[in-house]
Amino acid sequence: MLRKHTLSALALFVLSSPHFAQAASAPAVEAKNGMVVTSQDLATQVGVNILKQGGNAIDAAVAVGYAQAVVNPCCGNIGGGGFMTIHLANGKDTFINFREMAPAAASASMYQDAQGNLIAESSLYGWKATGVPGTVMGMEMARRQYGKLSRQAVMAPAIKLAQDGFILTRADTDILDTTVARFKQDPAVAKIFLRPDGTPLQPGDRLRQTDLARTLSRIAKEGPDAFYQGQFPKAVEQASKAGGGIITAQDFAQYHATELAPLTCTYRGYTFVSAPPPSSGGVTLCETLNILEGYDLKSMGFNSAAMVHTLTEALRFSYADRNTYLGDPAFVQNPVAKLMDKQYAASLREKIQKDKATPSTQIKPLVATGEKPETTHYSIVDHYGNAVSTTYTVNGRFGAVVMAPGTGVLMNDEMDDFTTKIGAKNLYGLVQGTANSIAPGKRPLSSMSPSLVTKEGKIFLVLGSPGGSRIITITLETALNIIDFGMKPQEAVDAPRIHHQWYPDEVYYEKNGLSADTLNILDKMGYRMVEQTPWGAAELIMVGLPGAAGVGTPSSGNDSAVSGNVRPGYLYGANDVRRPAGSARGY
Backbone angles phi, psi at 492, to 5 degrees: -65, -35
Which position among 310, 375, 391, 478 bears the catalytic label? 375
Residues 436 and 418 sit within 8 Å (Cβ to Cβ): yes
Q: Which H or E run contains 506?
A: none
Helix and strand totals (H; E) in the chain? 21, 19
Residues 112 and 118 sit within 8 Å (Cβ to Cβ): yes
Which amino acid, one-letter code, is at 384? Y
Give CA separation, 408 vs 186, 205, 208, 213, in Å.
12, 18, 10, 8
Residues 86 and 93 sit within 8 Å (Cβ to Cβ): yes
Active site residue 375: yes
Q: Which H or E run contains 318?
A: helix 305-325
Residues in Cβ contact with 81 at an 8 Å cutoff, skipping those fewer than 6 apart = 98, 99, 100, 131, 133, 134, 135, 138, 392, 393, 412, 414
The three-state secondary structure class of 226 is helix
| β-sheet bridge partners, residue 206 | 167
Residues in Cβ contact with 533 at an 8 Å cutoff, skipping those fewer than 6 apart = 510, 511
Spatial distance between the Cα atoms of 114 and 300, rounded to a whole number of angstroms: 54
Give CA separation, 66 vs 51, 135, 298, in Å.
15, 9, 41
Other C-beta atoms lying within 10 Å of the C-beta of residue 316: 26
Residues in Cβ contact with 190 at an 8 Å cutoff, skipping those fewer than 6 apart = 183, 184, 198
Spatial distance between the Cα atoms of 385 and 57, rounded to a whole number of angstroms: 9
End-to-end CA distance of the chain: 49
| β-sheet bridge partners, residue 272 | 265, 453
Residues 125 and 170 sit within 8 Å (Cβ to Cβ): no
Q: How many residues does the chain have?
A: 587
Q: Which H or E run contains 183?
A: helix 180-183
Query: Catalytic positions, please?
Result: 375
